[in-house]
Amino acid sequence: MEPLPAHLQANLREHLTPPWPLLVVGFSGGRDSVALLHALWRLGQAGGVEFALLAAHFNHGLRGAEADADQEFCRDFCSRLGIEFCWGQAQGLGCGGDVENRARRQRYAWLEQICQQEEAKGFRPVWLLCAHHQEDQAETVLLHLLRGSGSAGLAAMRKRRGRLLRPLLGLPRAEIEAYLTANGLTWRDDSSNSSPAYTRNRVRGQLLPLLQQLNPQVVPALAQTAEIAAAEADFLAACVAERMQQATVAPEGAALLLDFWQKQPLAMQRLLVRALWQAAAQKPVCALSFEQTEAVRLLPLHKTIHLPGGVAAVKNHGWLRLLRQTEEQLQRRRAKSRAGQLKNLPKK
């Protein structure tokens, strides 16, 4: 068996439990996803491992005819190998702002929807596979470091998150390219990957090459950092969960005795603030920022501050409370904020 299919078999062994799990592969048509899908196909052809394959392509619609050609390439690739293929189309991404993250969120939401639909047909289990590799991990560590992340952020991408599996995460790009060459495989190059408009592209094309001049092994070193940070983040998460057993969590929010919270080390105080916010927030779509966390930590007694997710924080009557605001309270706050903005408008 070739090295890449053998690597996949070793990394997926515990997930390929009978009878016939379904592997949904995020298939862009780029070199990494072509290598992953083809290697999985080869693994299935070799026998001894039984699973079903579904290639799922998401057309972001940001590159016009080029994106449509990518879709047709993926459809043809799957047709030649006899792999089931499905595709989806982004809606209302627009342009400008944080289009890269909006596209990513839509893509993963669609992929999860596909997995749920397949489960409804009777497949168990259904795994979602993405082709991220060691260089992708290194870039993600740098991106999170530049944003000021803690250990959870520096852990970057995990090999598993829920149903999502990244079986190539520890593999260098060179090994993927060697597999493509050995099997005479072609792929599609996304022209947006060379655009300096995207931060990740600048990290890949400018920052990483500079760092490699200082340390030629910077990519595996950064991947190692992610592995160390992941273990530390998991340990801290367990410590937070243990202390959150002392918290009171109710529909109106979450609270912890102030004396108990203040006796914790600084790092744990911050983590507990975030855990309380997570318990109280209404559909949180992001993490609490460091600045917001510090604002809660340093909040004077009986003062209130407002946080994302419709949450207000206050320290009173011996408790640190993160309270879920009612819709009426939120509307009053919005109206007050709007009135303040109008009042401060320059007079004509």
Q: Tell whether the model's pLDDT for residue 332 goes beyond 70.
A: no
Q: Is the pLDDT of residue 100 over 60?
A: yes
Q: Comparing C-alpha atoms, which of 194, 55, 76, 220 is closest to residue 134?
A: 220
Band of residue 340 on the pLDDT scale cut at 50, 70, 90? low
pLDDT at position 331 is: 63
Out of 3.40.50.720, 3.40.50.300, 3.30.465.60, 3.60.15.10, the CATH code matching 246-330 is 3.30.465.60
pLDDT at 343: 62
Strand pairing category for 248-250 and 253-257: antiparallel
The answer to whether the CB of 55 falls within 8 A of the CB of 84 is yes
Q: Could you identify the residue written with the tokens 């910077």?
A: 218
Tens-digit pLDDT profile for residues 39-94: 999 999 988 778 999 999 999 877 889 999 999 999 999 999 999 999 999 887 66
Domains 3-225 and 246-330 are alike in CATH topology: no
The CATH architecture assigned to 3-225 reads 3-Layer(aba) Sandwich (3.40)
Please say if the pLDDT value at position 111 is more than 60. Answer: yes
Task: Using a cut of 0.85, tell me whether the model's pTM lies above it.
Answer: yes
The model's pLDDT over 188-200, given as tens digits with 9 standing for 90+, comes to 998 888 888 888 9
Q: What is the pLDDT of residue 312?
A: 96
- The pLDDT score that the predictor gives to residue 48 is 74
Mean pLDDT of the chain: 91
Confidence check: pLDDT of 305 > 90? yes
Do 27 and 73 form a contact (C-beta atoms < 8 A)?
Answer: no
Q: Which amino acid is at 89?
A: Q
- The percent of residues in the chain predicted with pLDDT above 70, rounded, is 91
d(CA 246, CA 279): 13
- Backbone phi and psi for residue 98, each to the nearest 5 degrees, phi listed first: -100, 55
**pLDDT at position 342, please?**
55
Q: Where are the domains of the chain?
A: 3-225, 246-330
Confidence of residue 1 (pLDDT cuts 50, 70, 90): confident
Cβ within 8 Å of residue 34, ≥6 positions away:
27, 77, 180, 185, 186, 187
